[in-house]
Amino acid sequence: MADVMIQALSWHRFNISRFSVSPDLVGITHSFNFRDRKVEIRLPALETNNDGSLRKDKIECYSWKNRDGNLIPLKYHVYCIDVTIGVPDQLAIPEEALKVPPKREELFTPSQKELLDQLVGSHAELAAQAIEYWLRVIRWKSHIGYIGQPRLVNHASGWRAYLQEVSNGHSFWAETAVLVVEREDPVTQEHWLATQLALTAGVKPPIWFSFLFNAEHQLENSDRTGAVLSMAIAFEAMIRTLITRDLASGTVVDPMVLEIIDNANLRSILNRLKKMKFWSAAWDKHADFSLFHQLMNARDRIMHSADTVAVLDKDWAKILGCITSFAYFLDEA
């Protein structure tokens, strides 16, 4: 049986939650290099069923506006994403394999089967890593930290609660049904282009954004202690990076000096931050030191005394918003 040389790619599909896009992103792609492979991430296009109706299993419109009696789509839920990864070298495969359904093992030699199994396995792992990197970048560039994050509580079971009589299990009272409309911001064309620029450049989001987005997810799921610790890690990483990079810019600094600063008490640094030469009124607009200290106080009580009561009496959503604003200003500055 004759072999032919072909150029190949691997195809992978990932389900995704809490991901909305504007209409101009339907069917669009991101292309970038990842670990020496060409990766393409594609959003679903609109498809129709046999009766002409729109399919809703991959992408679905959930927000419209009425214009002269016509419904104009505004937002689409995206339920899955396709990833393709290019195979750098050509493959020798039986010509007949291009004419029949996949994995007709009798057409391939043992060495070919071993090679293809190794290839598809390694690419499956690579695709998972690529989608995770892509998620970090698109969350960073869109400022939407919950993309791809599952919702764990808030009536996640889908069942109402009941009061029942013990002896016979008869339900005599039911929880009042409440319609909850969740906020879901769409990724826009501007976000998509900014993400493509970062992917093309191979830029990794600063590590503190991962912790800030984790904190947002934890707050949504009523894990205040976890949210405080995630915010504190993000904040400390920002402050120490800000100081060490400023010291190292434009001059030669002994590594020991940077190590000393990296191990210095964060409070000492925070209390002297405004004395740094780069500080200006623009930084003041994005820095609320009162909220910063509230965060660090709660963090210290949790870490030093296992006191989780400290997380109950603060508006952590407000504090998270303040720290996130500071993070994006730092990112731009």
Over residues 107-117, the pLDDT tens digits come to 888 998 888 88
> Cβ distance 238 to 283 under 8 Å?
no
pLDDT at 71: 86
Q: What is the pTM of this model?
A: 0.82
Of the two residues 163 and 269, the one the predictor is more confident about is 269
Closest by CA to 323, choosing from 195, 208, 240, is: 208
Question: Angle, to 10 degrees, between the axis of helix 316-332 and the axis of helix 289-305?
Answer: 110
Please tell me the distance from the alpha carbon of residue 183 to that of residue 75, in angstroms, as a whole number.
Answer: 12
Task: Identify which of 3, 10, 200 has the alpha carbon closest to the alpha carbon of residue 87.
Answer: 10
- Residue 244, pLDDT > 90, answer no
Greatest mean pLDDT range, 30-39, 177-186, 237-246: 30-39
Confidence at residue 161, expressed as pLDDT on a 0 to 100 scale: 62
pLDDT in tens, 252-275: 666 776 677 777 778 888 888 888
Q: What is the helix (H) or strand (E) element at residue 13, kind and residue range?
A: strand 9-15
Residue 171, SS3?
A: strand
CA distances from 162 to 8, 167, 175, 177, 192 (A): 56, 15, 6, 11, 45
Tokens 């998972």 -> residue: 128
pLDDT of residue 264: 75
Q: What is the pLDDT of residues 44-68, one digit of tens each?
A: 999 999 998 889 999 999 999 988 8
In this model, does residue 150 exceed pLDDT 90?
Answer: no
pLDDT (average), residues 78-104:
89
User: What is the model's pLDDT at position 156?
Assistant: 47
Q: Nearest 10 degrees: CA dihedral of 300, 304, 307, 310?
A: -10
Look at residue 159 and tell me whether its pLDDT is greater than 60: no
Tokens of 281: 């009124």
